[in-house]
Chain A
């Protein structure tokens, strides 16, 4: 219990304390926030070690009623779906803070305040089990991220920040309406206990929501998440935000913020609106596949390294969405592991691009060439991240992409090979844009005088990169450690949805959730019980 609270509130506490530091003591502020984020990581390890991965239900569940009149509560808990993402968040945060030491050179106090606040909100998004609380954390992310892009970003930062804010807010507001509608419908028509946003309560009866309402609610949530993911064609904010944000900002955006969208799709869309998920699954999967190909093709023609990596995110997140809407255990697990992978490899690519930028102050591919000769260690790290991102077997990216494609291939819901066949081209294109970029930047002749005297990695930069590489290799070679954590929760979820569609699930031994009887009957019953107005 305590460890969960610590993981959530330590960053908040830290950010509040930073407000009281003097503006001039930048060194103190830097090391203090690093210490806080490391402590948070240590606290989260206690959750991980006490986490029972054979239990598909929520663990460490805590409930405190917050606003009784609307039954909004401070309800938090962790299951197999969120465990890995929480770990990813607290793992990436100290790394970004360490990377900020060199990337952020003005207004440090505000910056570290913002970044710790961001960490608080990100952990909150993944562990909240109340729709209202979830929405608050979801929105809370917007404020620090907006400032991080807007104050510390590069030239076009204002445009990017405002675009990011308005895009995300558009989705969020749709979600807000859906949350209230859902809470009101479930509270008054099904449970008859009054308005509620309790996730667990709503989940139990979610398949009693009539199809037409469910469909609207599904899209209300989904559009919000698709914007965050981002799914083609809602991705246009991403290249701008990624490119203009400072390096640590891009890392957090890519590694964690995008995952919130896909996490939301699993947690809310699949779990709360299973019938609609089945109905619209194939449509969404097509958009995911288009996103995979589109993102890859656009990446090929980019001349700015950072923009290239940004567009590659569109492609990679497409795999995740495809895995999710395959609604198979393997596809979902692939999606979750792919989220972690993308967080690690794309995050690392952004870090590396940032390091290069700090040395040369340009991100144009044409400015470089033959960097491998002056910066051999840097090039090696870049190579690892690049291959991980391209999905080379033995590194993490391969595991995730393979599993999502396999999931889509075997899915009884999508029921077509076309998704996998088209999606697999994305892997090939990924190799094209990444390898071509790598070749242009690192090989060839080093004929630009500005590149002659570039320094190789410093100790701090080593410290930033090595932990990521360890996990890239670990997931690549022995993914079972990680897949094991999410295994039972995903299977239970898949079971539930399969039972709704086919009457039985693939994992009968996990059938723990007792589903209410045939939806139409139950609705009629609840209607009869209602007092006639």
Chain B
């Protein structure tokens, strides 16, 4: 078998599982464990397959161009899919996010008395969508991926359908999401009109060779940025995020705000790489017009990033509800990741890879802990409910503290390195002012991250929280804690790979 075919395996596994989970759902009857374990197997297989690919010798030498697919595949797929390279890593990020969420899902749904089996199929489908986004090399596949991801999300955020908060979240998400999709498709059409191609690498070549219609291209990029900004919840299209993340089931918010956001950023990377190319020595010289377009949109993205960070953190500062606070902070984190897009070079993109990995671990960890402490009907979500948590639940409190410190970007945790790489990329590409804005935003964010630690450790309350039953979620919390510390101590485990991806 052609070794290049190996890289096709993860996508194949994910598609097969996504297709067969509903069927298993039908035939498994009232046994809910089977489908749970099937989904678990799905994520574990993807992780194993991708780790296997990472261990392939191609990754040892940076010079081998691993973006090329085999003859058979490129014929078959019409060059619309990228295999290997950064896709492997994003597959891993999504699968880890899925796995961590899955461990928290079951007891959450059982407590809410709403464990229906569709949940797992929907999870598998949105996961497949994310993988498609990461693998896409064509605007069509990209769109397909975004929709395959989003539609299950609309359903999942309203999953507990007898709860008003869920329905509200779902409806809001759906209406605004549909709107954003419109922008996205319109943008894609414009780019197609301008360059005459849907293949992103072809679009890239055409832009480099000055074969495009300037006005259509500019409008197309602008609309694409609007659409993707919505998916990534960046300013000014972030309004839905806090409401949806607060209203949706906590475990779903965990998955949406991490894996979903990472997927949106891969889409950003793919688009930025193709349509706003830089004057890099390897890629040749840009013409005056396309260079102007690139610089113009980078400025716009920088402004978006700056506002996202500030708005996300300032509004998070005002929250008294932990879930809502995390939701706003996730908006701010989108702003930090946007810095990598603004930098628009391999350092920025690999910075995003690192940040996304760290972010998945710490944000899911935090959300899972919130889901554990929360009671039925959205009880016990206020900041004051966390008072004295460290007394009876030292493990949960310590883990939460680590996640908060990591989210705030304090060394030696993973979040710090993510920020460091992104700051570095931004300064390197001449965006010092953006870094200073990011620093100010980080400073603001400290107050509420630290505030939660204050509640957990420094305050006490009369009716203290009894010892929380952690159960299966223990695994996700432990994995996240270890991951956050490990990536903090050995960031090069990821960076060594990430640097190769965009060479």
Contact = CB atoms under 8 A, between A and B. Distances in A.
Interface string B417-453: 1001101100110001001100100110011001101
Interface stretch (B216-224, B252-260, B319-327, B454-462): B454-462
Contact of A180 (B405, B411, B435, B443): B435
B439 A166 contact: no
A319 interface: no
A177 B436 contact: yes
B424 A136 contact: no
Given A142-B410, A162-B450, A157 B424 contact: no
Q: How large is the interface on B (under 10, 10 to 19, 20 to 34, 35 or more residues)?
A: 20 to 34
B491 interface: yes
B213 interface: no
Interface string A74-115: 000000000000000000000000000000000000000000
A280 interface: no
Contacts of B496: 68-69
B450 A165 contact: yes
- Which of A67, A157, A166 counts the most B-chain CB atoms under 10 A from its CB? A67
Contacts of B424: 70, 180, 183-184, 195
B447 A181 contact: no
Contacts of B435: 177, 180
Given A150-B458, A151-B457, A170-B443, A177 B410 contact: no
Per DSSP, are chain A's interface residues mostly helix, strand or loop, or mixed? helix
B193 interface: no
A147 B457 contact: yes
Nearest to A533: B279
Contacts of B432: 177, 181
Nearest to A174: B439
B286 to A, nearest CB: 12
Contact of A162 (B411, B447, B457): B447
Nearest to B498: A69
A269 B421 CA distance: 24
A143 B439 contact: no
A157 B428 CA distance: 41
Contacts of B446: 165-166, 169
B274 to A, nearest CB: 22
Contacts of A174: 439
Interface in B386-430: 405, 410-412, 416-417, 420-421, 423-424, 427-428
B423 A136 contact: no
B428 A195 contact: yes
29 contacts: A67-B491, A67-B495, A69-B496, A69-B499, A70-B424, A139-B411, A140-B412, A142-B410, A146-B450, A150-B453, A150-B457, A151-B457, A157-B458, A158-B454, A161-B454, A161-B458, A162-B447, A162-B451, A165-B450, A169-B410, A173-B439, A176-B420, A177-B435, A180-B420, A181-B432, A184-B424, A184-B428, A195-B424, A195-B428
Given A161-B458, A162-B454, A165-B446, 19 more contacts: A69-B350, A69-B495, A70-B421, A136-B411, A139-B410, A143-B405, A146-B450, A151-B458, A157-B458, A166-B446, A166-B450, A169-B410, A169-B446, A173-B442, A177-B423, A177-B427, A177-B435, A180-B420, A195-B428
Interface of B: 279, 350, 405, 410-412, 416-417, 420-421, 423-424, 427-428, 432, 435-436, 439, 442-443, 446-447, 450-451, 453-454, 457-459, 491-492, 495-496, 499
Interface of A: 66-70, 132, 135-136, 139-140, 142-143, 146-147, 150-151, 157-158, 161-162, 165-166, 169-170, 173-174, 176-177, 180-181, 183-184, 188, 195, 533
Going nearest first, the 9 A-B pairs with the smallest beta carbon separation are A136-B411, A173-B439, A150-B458, A69-B495, A139-B411, A67-B492, A180-B427, A158-B458, A180-B424
